[in-house]
Amino acid sequence: MKNSPLSRWYQLVNEQNASGIESLLADDMVFYSPVAHTPQYGKAVANKYLSAAFEIFFNESFRYVREIASSNDAVLEFQVEIDGIVVNGVDLIKWDDEGKIIEFKVMLRPLKAINLIHQKMAVMLES
């Protein structure tokens, strides 16, 4: 899986390089945010959400703790501490045969973390 979207995703995360996200996304992809009640459609919107998430989530405590992957999808469990709150979540990523991400879903826990991320994402997306 050296050139898979998953290995490229890990590279962006390790480098904290949000500028490379857009190249991984399919034009008609769907992004499911843990803080928006409706799916977000399209590459531009997904790129905006994921770029904001890079700013919020990726500090020195962020780490993926588990990976379950197959040929076209993966579940990545992560943990990070933000403002003294331990956030635990999963990224569910699905890509097409061309290696473009067609679906990205983020799920978080506990409720305190969801509320914190909702607040921080609102600020990032409004700016």
pLDDT digits (tens, 9 = 90+) for 75-127: 999 999 999 999 999 999 999 999 999 999 999 999 999 999 999 988 888 86
> The CATH number of the domain where 58 resides is what?
3.10.450.50
What one-character-per-residue DSSP string does the chain give? Answer: -TTSHHHHHHHHHHHT-GGGSGGGEEEEEEEE-SS-SS-EESHHHHHHHHHHHHHHH-STT-EEEEEEE-SSEEEEEEEEEETTEEEEEEEEEEE-TTS-EEEEEEEEESHHHHHHHHHHHHHHHH-
pLDDT category of residue 1 using cuts at 50, 70 and 90: very low
Domain of residue 9: give its range: 5-126
Number of domains in the chain: 1
The pLDDT of residue 125: 80
Q: Specify the pTM.
A: 0.92
Q: What is the structure's pLDDT at 11? A: 94
CA 115 to chain centre: 17
**What are the tens digits of pLDDT across the range 39-87?**
999 999 999 999 999 999 999 999 999 999 999 999 999 999 999 999 9
